[in-house]
């Protein structure tokens, strides 16, 4: 061992001292002898600093904002419909550098969810096309004010292809079970893979740290409970499983159901059928679709070449689209004008208000006018004890005209039975038909169709929600860690178009995920008292709305019971206000290292070493100078070198 080496054979000469002209072997201050590393790319760490607390806690070596390197994070997303597309647009960029992987399982053979599955005659969006676009992807090329399901699906497919989302999506993969493992802090997910060629299925297990359910709730369709329904030898369809290649021309058609889907089917089927049978046994308001003030003068659908309600845009189709492509801001203003109208709708939902009177009077007048020659249909169809907004406003484009048309027979009461050749009405008369279309809705209980098991293995989510689906703001459930859902109970799906809501939720979830990664959170779930308080508020608030009127509605889980209401207790804008940022004080947390401040790690912030942020940002932000708040960039570090010598900078 030489004089310049320690007992371990390492150099004991300090080059920093030598650069000052001092002996390298000198000992100055409390540092040990010899060379020491520099904090250049990241902070220095010495093993002897790993001192245990009396609980065994050791600060990790990470910087603030860095996830634990030994804890990669995997997300499984359920469904490649609108919610999945929105999440896949934002997540890869937002979660960059956080060691996150992502897969999206889709049960169908293609993307699109609702707009892939629902292809029945007349299927279209009941809000303006421009409002059924993602805020981040405008589409000036819509062909109609209320677009068809196929055109909406094409819009979504185009986004998926252009943004390379198929890298994350696994088609024909259905999640059939999920169970939380608290020892590993992971969800064990059972996935069923369907081979489209031979119909063979195989199951496998996957794991994730966070499960995001974007499967929606209006996708579990059901047949009506009518004796003999499956004895029918003609063509039998449910509206959510319709073969769009089937031609109704020259056919005798029966349409069962007069909800939103049934109304659209009747209006469209009437055009081609030689005979149409339908039932108007449930009173319902038939009015112009949502956003009708920006539609045609009667609130009907229209093609953009035929009419346009903005006076500065009285152009034909190609010119309209070209103008919107030329001037994106004009298109954005048009979008905002329609959204503004939608956001003003909530006040019409409050009971005993002038606004509610106005929509009731408008709908009553329209229906009375269109059914003037058929008072018996008017008497059956006109609701007596509930207001327009008790159910989702049903777009009546051509429906009332079809009911009163010469090819239509409107039958009263219930269907007695279905035979191999047709339908038997309540009086025992049989009506032969070629095709039956059942527009009879969905399971709207919100109970998942596959087992989701959280902290309590004895109470899966379907059991927890057996009588009522209590949730935290519609996004999470107590007792189910690291599980979040789009379109859960109490989401404001009745207050307007859903796509901006999906984008809001995506940002909400991404903020939670980033917090989990940066603060080393093992698991989180809403506190039971937070769920209870929200449920209590909703239950006390919702009776003041017309949703609580005695109509049968999926707003009330397919019942008339106002205590089953699962709508957001407020306007759509109130939802944006409350969910813009997560209220994490309402969540229970557990941390990987058992200390909530463990994410402070080595005491540095990651951007102190990355060079990606101004180290003096606070001087700009708190300056109260509007020019400085935007950020004042640093210039050459020698810019003010001469100031100490009296030079003018």
Q: Indicate the domain borders of the chain.
A: 1-36, 73-109+171-220+444-591, 243-315+339-438, 617-649
pLDDT at 217: 72
| Helix, coil or strand: residue 417 | strand
Q: Give the closest residue to 201 by CA, choosing from 107, 111, 114.
A: 107
Tell me how far apart the alpha carbons of residues 378 and 372 are, in angstroms, rounded to a whole number.
8
- Look at residue 151 and give its three-state secondary structure: helix
Element (H, E) at 89: helix 82-94
Torsion sign over Cα 43, 46, 48, 52: positive
Q: Angle, to 10 degrees, between the axis of helix 82-94 and the axis of helix 499-518?
A: 40
Contact 491, 504 (CB under 8 A): no
Q: What is the pLDDT of residue 648?
A: 83
What DSSP character marks residue 382?
S
Q: What distance in Å separates the CA atoms of residue 277 and residue 436, rounded to the nearest whole number? A: 9
Q: What angle do CA 307, 311, 315 make, to 5 degrees?
A: 50
- Tokens linked to 525: 């779930």
Cβ proximity of 553 and 390 under 8 Å: yes
Cβ atoms of 67 and 91 closer than 8 Å: no
Question: What pLDDT, on a 0 to 100 scale, did the predictor assign at position 304?
Answer: 39
- CA Rg value for the chain: 31
Split the chain (649 residues) into runs of 10 and give each run's mean pLDDT.
54 91 93 92 93 94 96 98 98 97 98 93 89 94 90 98 98 98 98 86 97 85 92 96 94 93 94 94 76 46 38 53 92 93 92 95 92 91 94 81 94 92 96 96 85 98 96 98 97 91 98 98 98 98 97 91 96 97 97 96 95 92 94 82 83
Residue 36 tokens, joined: 């020491």
CA dist 237 and 436 (Å) reads 6
Among 215, 233, 189, which Cα is nearest to 482's? Answer: 189
Instruction: Report residue 488 CA to chain centroid gap.
Output: 9
Under 8 Å CB-to-CB from 560, ≥6 apart: which residues? 550, 551, 552, 553
371 within 8 A of 381, measured Cβ to Cβ: yes
What angle in degrees, to the nearest 10, is found between the helix axes of 499-518 and 572-579? 10
Q: What is the CATH class of 243-315+339-438?
A: alpha beta
Provide the pLDDT for residue 611.
Answer: 86
Within a 10 A sphere around the Cβ of 641, how many other Cβ atoms? Answer: 11
User: According to the model, what pLDDT value does residue 454 have?
Assistant: 98
- Torsion sign over Cα 308, 313, 317, 320: negative
For the 73-109+171-220+444-591 domain, the top CATH level (class) is alpha beta
Burial call 231-259: b when 16+ CB within 10 Å, e when fewer: ebebbbbbbbebeeeeebeebbbbbbbbb
Residues 410, 234: Cα–Cα separation, whole Å: 21
Taking residue 625's Cβ as centre, other Cβ atoms within 10 Å add up to 10
Q: Any long-range contacts for 342-348 (C-beta under 8 Å, 24+ apart)?
A: 342/127, 342/131, 342/290, 342/291, 342/495, 342/496, 342/497, 342/572, 343/496, 343/571, 343/572, 343/573, 345/290, 345/495, 345/496, 346/495, 346/570, 346/571, 346/572, 348/388, 348/389
The per-residue pLDDT for 412 is 83
- C-alpha 440/C-alpha 409 separation (Å) is 19
Cβ partners under 8 Å of residue 469, min gap 6: 445, 446, 447, 488, 489, 557, 566
Q: Rounded to an integer, what distance in angstroms lies between the CA atom of residue 321 and that of residue 141?
A: 6
Measured between alpha carbons, how far is residue 258 from residues 196, 292, 376, 396, 403 in Å?
34, 21, 16, 11, 11
- What pLDDT does residue 8 have? 57
Q: How far is CA 131 from CA 135, 142, 361, in A?
A: 9, 11, 26
Q: Would you say the pTM of this structure is higher than 0.75?
A: yes
Q: Which of these, 103, 86, 288, 317, lies nearest to 209 by C-alpha position?
A: 103
Residue 618 parent element (H or E): helix 617-621
């Amino acid at each position: 061992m030489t004089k310049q080496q320690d007992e371990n054979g390492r150099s004991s000469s300090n080059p920093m001292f030598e650069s000052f002209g001092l002996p390298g072997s000198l000992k100055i201050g409390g540092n040990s002898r010899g060379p020491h590393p520099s904090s250049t790319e990241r902070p220095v760490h010495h093993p002897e600093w790993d001192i245990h607390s009396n609980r065994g806690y050791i600060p990790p070596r990470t910087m603030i904002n860095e996830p634990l390197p030994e804890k990669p994070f995997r997300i499984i997303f359920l469904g490649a419909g609108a919610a999945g597309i929105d999440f896949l647009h934002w997540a890869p960029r937002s979660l960059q550098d956080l060691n996150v992987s992502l897969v999206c399982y889709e049960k169908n053979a293609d993307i699109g969810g609702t707009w892939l599955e629902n292809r029945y005659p007349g299927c279209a969006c009941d809000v303006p096309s421009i409002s059924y676009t993602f805020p981040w992807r405008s589409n000036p090329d819509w062909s109609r004010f209320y677009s068809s399901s196929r055109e909406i699906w094409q819009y979504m497919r185009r986004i998926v292809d252009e943004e390379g989302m198929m890298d994350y999506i696994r088609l024909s993969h259905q999640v059939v079970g999920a169970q939380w493992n608290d020892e590993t802090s992971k969800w064990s997910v059972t996935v069923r893979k369907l081979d489209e060629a031979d119909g063979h299925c195989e199951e496998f297990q996957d794991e994730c740290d966070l499960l995001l359910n974007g499967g929606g709730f209006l996708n579990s369709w059901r047949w009506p409970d009518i004796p003999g329904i499956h004895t029918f030898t003609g063509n039998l369809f449910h509206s959510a499983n319709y073969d769009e290649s089937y031609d109704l021309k020259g056919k005798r058609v029966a349409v069962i159901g007069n909800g939103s889907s049934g109304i659209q089917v009747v209006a469209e089927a009437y055009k081609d059928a030689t005979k149409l049978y339908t039932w108007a046994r449930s009173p319902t308001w038939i009015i112009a679709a949502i956003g009708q003030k920006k539609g045609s003068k009667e609130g009907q659908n229209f093609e953009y070449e035929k009419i346009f309600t903005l006076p500065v845009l009285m152009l034909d189709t190609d010119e309209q689209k070209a103008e919107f492509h030329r001037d994106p801001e004009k298109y954005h203003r048009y979008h905002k004008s329609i959204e503004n109208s939608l956001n003003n709708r909530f006040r019409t939902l409050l009971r005993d208000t002038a606004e509610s009177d106005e929509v009731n009077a408008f709908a009553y007048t329209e229906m009375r006018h269109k059914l003037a020659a058929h008072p018996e249909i008017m008497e059956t169809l006109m609701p007596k004890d509930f207001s327009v907004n008790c159910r989702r406003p049903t777009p009546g484009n051509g429906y009332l005209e079809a009911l009163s048309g010469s090819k239509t027979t409107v039958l009263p009461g219930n269907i007695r039975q279905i035979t191999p050749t047709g339908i038997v009405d309540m009086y025992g008369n049989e009506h032969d038909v070629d095709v039956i279309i059942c527009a009879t809705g969905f399971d709207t209980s919100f109970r998942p169709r596959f087992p989701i098991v959280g902290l309590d293995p004895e109470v899966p989510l379907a059991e927890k929600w057996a009588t009522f689906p209590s949730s935290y703001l519609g996004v999470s459930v107590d007792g189910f860690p690291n599980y979040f859902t789009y379109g859960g109970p109490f989401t404001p799906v009745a207050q307007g178009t859903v796509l901006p809501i999906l984008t809001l939720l995506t940002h909400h979830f991404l903020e939670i995920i980033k917090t989990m990664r940066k603060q080393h959170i093992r698991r989180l779930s809403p506190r039971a008292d937070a769920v209870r308080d929200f449920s209590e508020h909703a239950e006390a608030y919702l009776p003041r709305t017309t949703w609580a009127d005695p109509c049968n509605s999926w707003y009330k889980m397919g019942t008339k019971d106002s205590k089953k209401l699962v709508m957001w207790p407020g306007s759509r804008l109130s939802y944006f206000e409350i969910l813009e940022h997560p209220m994490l004080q309402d969540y229970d947390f557990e941390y990987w290292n058992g200390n909530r401040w463990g994410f402070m790690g080595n005491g540095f912030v990651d951007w102190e070493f990355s060079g990606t942020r101004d180290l003096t940002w606070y001087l700009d932000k708190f300056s109260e100078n509007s020019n400085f708040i935007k950020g004042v960039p640093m210039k050459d570090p020698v810019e003010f070198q001469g100031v100490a010598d009296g030079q003018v900078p």
